[in-house]
Structure 1
Amino acid sequence: MIRILVVDDHAVVRSGLMSLLDGKEGLRVVGEAAEGDEAIARAAELRPDVVLMDLSMPHGKDGLTATKQLKKERPDTSVLILTMHDDEEYLFRAIQAGASGYLLKSAPHEELLTAIRTVARGDAYLYPTATKKLMSEYMEQWRSGEHAGTYESLSEREKEVLAWTAKGYSNKEIAEQLFISVKTVETHKSNLMEKLGLKTRPELVKYALKKGLLQFE
């Protein structure tokens, strides 16, 4: 039996999801929460297998922050993001936070059930169009030579800065981790992005994912 905690700031949405899921074969809704802090507390109390997490919850802790803390406290609990944001940056930030899956609220009910069962058994789930989009972008970037630089061309320190940056750490936090100055971190970051042909943070995160540099709980 897969135990589910539903987290969304809209009561009507929570009610609809609970009605949809509870009673389906192998599924049981054990609770609900309206914002991130409540979700973390309810997860500790109810010990769900899967937390169905909204991203945008203006009152209280947002879904990304709650996911990161929840995974730190309960690494065996899978978080499936259910959101209206069809946005690549949100997708990567959710993965960084430790989410096992990302699904749009416009998805068919059958896909939601599939996603829940997928993350519950420890696998990852992305909605199909996101997967196609990412693959297409990777292919286009490599064909255009945008990522002409190689990982091996980076210094050991640049590799460390790349990994910490991709995990969401600020320049100051990276400096503290590596015992170097913030200015030095900025220099390493600038150099590594130039070597790899990267221009934006999402590109850096995608590169780190492709290289297997991000290890999540």
Structure 2
Amino acid sequence: MGKWFARLYDMVLAPIEQTKFKKIRKSLIGKAKGRVLEIGSGTGVNFPFYQLALHVDAIEPDHYMRKKSLKRLDKSEIPIQTHLVKAEKLPFADHTFDTVVGTLVFCTIPNPERALKEVQRVCKPDGKVLLFEHVRLNHSKFGPLQDALTPVWSKVSEGCRLNQNTVELLQNAGFIIHTIEEHFKGLFLVIKCVNEERRTQLPSITQQSVRH
């Protein structure tokens, strides 16, 4: 990502972060326990919301975004160590983390399938995976519109894909999805998973729509 993107990121998202996303992030990140891995920590917007974690390893592949995040370290009550690392190749041993967190990140990872395999590897068996992502809408008009806009949008937003199907990616990787909360009519999802080998047919998913 370019230096300009890191500078503008927080400013552009500030209105929706303060009015909508902050509450979602606080609720989700507050559930992260034990040793935690945050995928794509960006400018560190999640750092102040960790309450139950023992230690957080936050990875971010972009130098400028990681540099901005360092200014938020003192806002966290939990020790956080940042790493200039890509999600597709994590420098951690197998079964290291109790919880893995990702917010608005899998839409930008070049190889999300590989990244999820790495998450599976470093997350403990039965460890939690907590995600907040924007996804492709299951809508006859808006879904195809997202498909059409993604090539252009991706070029101006550092690789962000509007039509990412994160739920399908998680299921294909073998994660057990426990709950999905819909926000903004399904454009944004809060997904809570368990890193458990899929031995039988997936159980029914609890899905809750949250209107805003």
Normalising by structure 1, report the TM-score.
0.35
Structure whose residues are more often strand by fraction: 2
**Which is greater in Rg?**
1
Structure whose residues are more often helix by fraction: 1
